[in-house]
């Protein structure tokens, strides 16, 4: 199994531009989570999906952030327009139907907004 795959690994963009981060979960996993990691705030849960349906998006910081999961094998996190304070590492994680199995994380996307 290739694990959770995120792309791109690094993204540098100018303030005001649209940014799209991508995630492919592990096949058979029915939960998908998006996290943001910064030095100041640590790991923050942004949103999670179950069977492609968004369950809790209370962690999404503002309307500039949106996430979709059009099918079981793909999810996107979009920031439009981006701002320098969005600079962080964004992680995607997926989980099997067994809630005690823990998450499998992707390698993350390091976003820098200049």
Partner 1 sequence: GNSVTQMEGPVTLSEEAFLTINCTYTATGYPSLFWYVQYPGEGLQLLLKATKADDKGSNKGFEATYRKETTSFHLEKGSVQVSDSAVYFCALSVDSSNTGKLIFGQGTTLQVKP
Site for partner 1, rule CB under 8 A:
4, 31, 33, 42-43, 45, 48, 50, 55-56, 91, 93, 95, 97, 99-100, 102-108
Minimum separation from the CB atom of position 40 to partner 1 (A): 11
Q: What is the dihedral of CA 9, 72, 67, 21, to 10 degrees?
A: 10
Nearer to partner 1, 1 or 99 (CB): 99
Give the residue with the Cβ less far from partner 1, 48 or 65: 48
Helix then strand count (H, E) for the chain reads 0, 11
CB of 79 to partner 1, least distance (A): 20
Give CA angle at 36 (25, 13), nearest 5°. Answer: 95
């Amino acid at each position: 199994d290739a694990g959770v795959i995120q792309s791109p690994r690094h993204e540098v963009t100018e303030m005001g531009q649209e940014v799209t981060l991508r995630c492919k979960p592990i096949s058979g996993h029915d939960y998908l989570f998006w996290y943001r990691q910064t030095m100041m705030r640590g790991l923050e849960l942004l949103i999670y999906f179950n069977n492609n349906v968004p369950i809790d998006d209370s962690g999404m910081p503002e309307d500039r952030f949106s996430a979709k999961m059009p099918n079981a094998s793909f999810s996107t996190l979009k920031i439009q327009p981006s701002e320098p304070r969005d600079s962080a590492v964004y992680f995607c994680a997926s989980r099997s139907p067994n809630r005690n199995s823990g998450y499998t994380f992707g390698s993350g996307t390091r976003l820098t907004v200049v």
